[in-house]
Amino acid sequence: MGLFNKKNLTVDTTDILPSMTLHDLVCEKLNVFCWCNRCDHNNIIESAQIIERLGGNYPVPEIGRNLRCRKCNNMRDISTRPNWPSYGGQITRHTD
């Protein structure tokens, strides 16, 4: 089995589902996991706390645009995703 070409995956966006929103996280009782891509600092923000500021329809991957890293003051390169529960083992593996 060959590796995926990332460029080919991003070209056709017709089959991509919409991003999870803050409202979805609240319904699922999940919080937002934030990761600074510059210094690797990470944190968890409660969904209810940030939904007041951004609104329920705000997409979770876009939340990083409104955040600042407490450690290095980075405001441009912060990733956000749902804080999925830990299953005690490896779920996925990243390869280059």
**Residue 63 domain-assigned?**
yes
What pLDDT was estimated at residue 11?
Answer: 58
The total number of structural domains that make up the chain: 1
What pLDDT was estimated at residue 46?
Answer: 93
Strand intervals (E) in the chain:
32-36, 42-45, 78-82
Q: Are 60 and 80 in contact (CB under 8 A)?
A: yes
**Residue 55 domain-assigned?**
yes
What is the three-class DSSP state of 53?
Answer: helix
Q: Does position 4 have pLDDT exceeding 80, yes or no? A: no
What pLDDT was estimated at residue 19?
Answer: 85
Name the pTM for this structure.
0.70
SS3 content of the chain, % helix, strand, coil (to 5): 30, 15, 55
How many CA atoms within 13 Å lie on the side-chain side of 89? 1
Range of the domain at 78: 17-82
